[in-house]
Amino acid sequence: MTRRKFTSKFKTKVVLEALKERNTLAEIAQKYEIHPNQISQWKREFLDGADQVFEKGKTSKKTEAEKEKDKYLKTIGQLKMEVDFLKDALR
């Protein structure tokens, strides 16, 4: 028997349903064909990582170094376009 792999989207869906507490863990587990202990584990992991959602600059924000690198790459691209244009103009 092979292990099943679940997407993060699926796990989030199951955990949010469990957090609503409209159904028991057993009912949710039966609905999604997974063990109730698995739901409890995902729920614990979800709640443990919940505080990171509101941290500033840690997750999806670009670091200053990445912003500076992007700026330089944009400048290099612009300069390359100008050089290519001038080369074509001289022909």
User: What share of the chain has pLDDT > 70, as a percent?
Assistant: 92
CA 36/CA 45 separation, integer angstroms:
14
Residue 21 backbone dihedrals phi, psi, to 5 degrees: 60, 30
* pTM, two decimal places: 0.58
Enter the tokens of residue 18: 């469990």
Q: What would the mean pLDDT of 14-27 be, rounded to a whole number?
A: 94
Which pLDDT tens digit goes with each residue over 40-54?
999 999 999 888 878
Largest distance between two CA atoms of the chain: 76
